Amino acid sequence: MKPRLIVSRQIPPAVADRIRAEFDCPFPEGQDMDADTVIRMLTETRADALMLTSHLPFRAETIARIPDHVRIAATCSVGTDHIDIAAAKARGLPMSNTPDVLTECTADLTFMLILNACRRATEYAAIMRDGWRHGYGLGEMMGLRAWGKTLGILGLGRIGQAVAQRARGFGMTVLYSGPRRLPVDQEHGATYFADFRAMLPHCDILSLHAPGGAATAGIMNAETFALLPKGAVFVNAARGGLVDEDALIAALQSGHLFAAGLDVFRNEPEYDLRFAALPNVFLTPHMGSGTVETRNAMGFRTLDNIAAVLSGKPPLDPLWT
């Protein structure tokens, strides 16, 4: 008999094909489920495993209601700020995530945000869609050069390092801050600032790559945006909770920031529509991992984690030990 699986959100076709082959699953393509539906489905099907995503808040109340026959809850995301890991550990519920496989695509998207913000992509694209009604003088519609700029990175983890590696190809000077200095910084030619605030005045471009959660909540606020030089560019492909969005909007409206590139927001998908009214922001709908290759790899890694636990081994990417 195949193990029974519940999938709490729509997933790529190639991943669904593998689920059909290896699992007994009522919706192998996944279905959008809230926490109550997940609990009901797990219970009704006597499921062995749950595949979830960052759209499902996995808080202590929900974890307490997971039936005992569920042997692993595997999130198809690198981020874990939707999960109460302490509650899962207290409950003894094995959990896993999908690190590494989305690093390069998220770094690619970060550069897409940087380049599009610096080079006024939102405005240029709107002009072309509108029929390009008149030509521009050499002094009009000028963007900022990205090549050769100083890039500040908050969080030189896997994704931060992949961004630093790309920055070298753009002739950038790389600075970073985070909880500790990392030996890998030499390989990336990145200069460490123990004090995040002391780094900000040096950044032409600032990119966030820190995890979300209480420790970093609102780290970009009116005070820290003011520490960036006038005309700086801000990008965020990490988590919306890192940013005080009122302060960001004010800095974009006043021209203190030249532009921003944003993939993540405090409220997703109901993000603050004041961003959409600003010409100097380039917006994407939380798509750092959004390529066929990476979404398949995330799905397969999630299934590998589930298979490991169902065969009596620990998860490959455990959230707690």
Catalytic residue annotation: 239, 268, 286
Tokens of 11: 């997933």
Minimal distance, residue 210 CB to ligand GLV, in Å: 8
> Should residue 315 be labelled a site residue for ligand GLV when binding is judged by CB under 6 A?
no
Residue 302 Cα distances to 32, 70, 307, angstroms: 17, 15, 9
Q: Do residues 42 and 66 make contact, with C-beta atoms less than 8 angstroms apart?
A: yes
Residue with tokens 């169902």: 310
**In the complex with ligand GLV, which residue's Cβ is closer, 94 or 160?**
160
Map residues 51-80 to x or -, x wherever contact with ligand GLV holds by CB under 6 A. ---x----------------------xxx-
Task: Give the residue, chosen from 30, 99, 241, 299, that forms a contact with ligand GLV under the rule CB under 6 A.
Answer: 99
Residue 86's nearest CA partner among 54, 63, 65, 53 is 63
Minimal distance, residue 124 CB to ligand GLV, in Å: 27
Minimal distance, residue 239 CB to ligand GLV, in Å: 7
Q: Do residues 159 and 106 make contact, with C-beta atoms less than 8 angstroms apart?
A: yes
Q: Do residues 4 and 305 make contact, with C-beta atoms less than 8 angstroms apart?
A: no
Selected range binding ligand GLV among 42-50, 158-166, 240-248, 253-261, rule: CB under 6 A: 158-166
Q: Do residues 4 and 48 make contact, with C-beta atoms less than 8 angstroms apart?
A: yes
Minimal distance, residue 77 CB to ligand GLV, in Å: 3
Tell me, what amino acid is at 78? Answer: V
**In the complex with ligand GLV, which residue's Cβ is closer, 163 or 203?**
163
Chain contacts with ligand GLV (rule: CB under 6 A): 54, 77-79, 99, 102-103, 157-160, 209, 288-289
